[in-house]
Amino acid sequence: MSLRDDRAGRLILSLRRQGVTDARVLKAMESIDRAVFVHEKFLDQAWEDQALPIDCAQTISQPYIVGLMTQALDVQPRHRVLEIGTGSGYQCAVLSRMARFVYSVERYKSLLTEAENRLKILGIDNVFTRHGDGGQGWPEQAPFDRIMVTAASPHEPTELL
């Protein structure tokens, strides 16, 4: 067993103890190497249950939050999911293991470019990305079966409702 497998296994057990019990969510999270999505200086913390800083004063979400939100979304294999706030790309990578297609919108171009590169490295080809205001959604691809908002907004995103 590799160090990555050991650390991933410990994290998955911790998430299960905290209430993330959907086997599909846990399997998806275990299949995505979170280390690919964190800065090199935080690699030793990639499998810890904590948020970590990324560029543009943003963070990669705490694994517990990723698991809890993904579980609450109840994504099914044929679903088309809209994610608002691509960030590092980790959440949409997890969603890609559960949904037919994931559409992700990010307002910071540099974050989006990095996320796209990570997804490509992992061979994820069912995620489509767009640079823009997530509060506007992705009307050309609507309707979606599920919408996950992983970014803050100064106003209620009524276009998504």
Active site residues: 61
Nearest to 13 by CA among 64, 70, 66: 64
Residue 63 DSSP symbol = H
Q: Is 111 helix (H, G, I), strand (E, B) or coil?
A: helix
Judge residue 64's burial from the number of C-beta atoms within 10 Å of its C-beta, 0-12 exposed, 13-18 middle, 19 or more buried. middle
> What is d(CA 43, CA 36) in angstroms, rounded to the nearest whole number?
9
> What is d(CA 55, CA 78) in angstroms, rounded to the nearest whole number?
33
